[in-house]
Chain A
Amino acid sequence: MTDAVTVHHAATEALSFRDHLPALQVLLPLMGAPLCFLLRKAALVSFFTVAISFACLAISLTLLGQTMGGEILIYEFGSWPRPFGIEYRVDITNSFVLVVISLVAAVVFAAGPGQARRSIPVGREYLFYSAALLCLTGLLGVTITGDVFNVFVFMEISSLSSYILIALGRERRALMAAFTYLIMGTIGATFLLIGIGLMYQMTGTLNMVDMAVRLQAVSDTRTILVAVAFVIVGISTKLAVFPLHQWLPNAYSEAPPIVSAFLAATATKVAYYLLLRFTLGLFGAALIFDQIGIDILLMPLSVLAMFVGSIAAIYQTDFKRILAYSSIAQIGYMTLGLSLATEAGVAAGLIHLFNHALMKGGLFMVAACVMWRMGSTHIDVMRGLGQRMPITMAAFVAAGLALVGVPGTAGFVSKWALVTAALENEAFFIAFLIMASSVLAVVYIWRLVEIVYFSEPETDFEVKEAPLRMLIPTWTLAGMTIWFGLFSGFSVEVAEAAAKQLFVGLAGAGA
Chain B
Amino acid sequence: MTESLAPMLPLAAAMPPGMLLMLAAIPVVFLPRTISNIVMLLLPIIGLAQLLALPIGYTDTVAIFDYTLEVTRVDALSRVFGIVFHLAAFMGILYALHVKDRMQAAAALIYVGSAIAAVFAGDLITLFVWWELTALSSVFLIWASRTESALRAGQRYLIIQVTSGLLLLLGAILLHAESGSIVFEHIGLESAGGWFVFMAFGIKACFPLLHGWMKDSYPEATITGTVFLSGFTTKLAIYALARGFAGTEILIPIGATMTAFPIFFAVIENDLRRVLAYSLNNQLGYMVVGIGIGTELALNGAVAHVFAHVIYKALLFMSMGAVLLRVGTVKGSELGGLYKSMPWTTVFCIIGAASISAFPLTSGFVTKSMILTAAADGHYLIPFLILLFASAGVFHHSGIKIPFFAFFAHDRGFRVKEAPLNMLAAMAIAAFFCIGIGVFPGILYKILPYPVEYVPYTTSHVVQMLQLLLFSALAFTFLMKTKLYPPELRSVVLDVDWVWRKLLPEAWSRVAEVWLMGQIAFLSTANKARLRVLDFTSAHLSPWSRLGEPWPTGATAMWAAMLLLAYLYLAFQNLATRPPG
Closest to A253 in B: B550
Closest to B536 in A: A311
Q: How distant is B219 from chain A, measured CB to nearest CB, in Å?
A: 21
Q: Which stretch from B256-264, B509-517, B541-549 is at the chain A interface?
A: B541-549
Q: Assuming the A-B contacts A180-B553, A407-B128, A420-B173, are A316 and B567 also in contact, with contact meaning beta carbons closer than 8 angstroms in the complex?
A: no
B429 contacts A by Cβ under 8 Å: no
B385 contacts A by Cβ under 8 Å: no
Chain A residues near B176: list those with CB within 8 A: 423
Chain B residues near A492: list those with CB within 8 A: 65
Task: Determine the distance from Cα of A454 to Cα of B158 in the docked complex, in whole angstroms.
Answer: 15
Chain A residues near B572: list those with CB within 8 A: 222, 225
Interface string of B115-151 (1 = CB under 8 A from A): 0000000000000110010000000000000000001
Q: Which stretch from B95-103, B444-452, B554-562 is at the chain A interface?
A: B554-562
Task: Point out the residue from A226, A247, A408 that lies within 8 Å of B550, measured CB to CB.
Answer: A247
Q: Which stretch from A87-95, A135-143, A291-299 is at the chain B interface?
A: A291-299
Chain B residues near A246: list those with CB within 8 A: 550-551, 555-556, 559
Interface string of B39-72 (1 = CB under 8 A from A): 0000000000000000000000000110000000
Chain B residues near A292: list those with CB within 8 A: 567, 570-571, 574
Chain A residues near B548: list those with CB within 8 A: 312, 315
Q: Assuming the A-B contacts A183-B553, A407-B132, are A312 and B173 also in contact, with contact meaning beta carbons closer than 8 angstroms in the complex?
A: no
B575 contacts A by Cβ under 8 Å: yes
How many contacts between A and B, using CB within 8 angstroms? 106
Task: Point out the residue from A297, A315, A408 that lies within 8 Å of B570, measured CB to CB.
Answer: A297
Task: Determine the distance from Cα of A184 to Cα of B551 in the docked complex, in whole angstroms.
Answer: 11
Within 267-309 of A, Cβ neighbours of B (below 8 Å) are at: 291-294, 296-297, 308
Contact A232 B567 (CB under 8 A): yes
Chain A residues near B570: list those with CB within 8 A: 292-294, 296-297
Task: Determine the distance from Cα of A247 to Cα of B571 in the docked complex, in whole angstroms.
Answer: 27
Interface string of B194-225 (1 = CB under 8 A from A): 00000000000000000000000000000000
Grouping DSSP codes into helix (H, G, I), strand (E, B) and loop, the B interface class, with mixed when no group exceeds half, is helix
Interface string of A313-325 (1 = CB under 8 A from B): 0111100010000
B6 contacts A by Cβ under 8 Å: no
Chain A residues near B578: list those with CB within 8 A: 220, 291
Contact B543 A225 (CB under 8 A): no
Task: Determine the distance from Cα of A379 to Cα of B128 in the docked complex, in whole angstroms.
Answer: 33
Q: How distant is B540 from chain A, measured CB to nearest CB, in Å?
A: 8
Chain A residues near B538: list those with CB within 8 A: 315
Contact B547 A250 (CB under 8 A): no
Chain A residues near B542: list those with CB within 8 A: 312, 315
Task: Point out the residue from A180, A243, A416 that lies within 8 Å of B563, measured CB to CB.
Answer: A243
Chain A residues near B15: list those with CB within 8 A: none
Chain B residues near A229: list those with CB within 8 A: 564, 567-568, 571
Chain B residues near A225: list those with CB within 8 A: 568, 571-572, 575
Closest to B143 in A: A454
Interface string of B470-496 (1 = CB under 8 A from A): 000000000000000000000000000
Q: How distant is B394 from chain A, measured CB to nearest CB, in Å?
A: 38
Q: Which 8 A-B pairs have the closest CB atoms?
A: A229-B567, A315-B542, A225-B571, A312-B541, A183-B553, A233-B564, A311-B541, A423-B177
9 intermolecular pairs with C-beta atoms under 8 Å apart: A180-B550, A188-B560, A243-B563, A246-B556, A308-B541, A314-B537, A315-B542, A431-B173, A489-B64
Interface residues of B (CB under 8 A from A): 64-65, 128-129, 132, 151, 166, 170, 173-174, 176-177, 537-538, 541-543, 547-548, 550-551, 553, 555-557, 559-560, 563-564, 566-568, 570-572, 574-575, 578
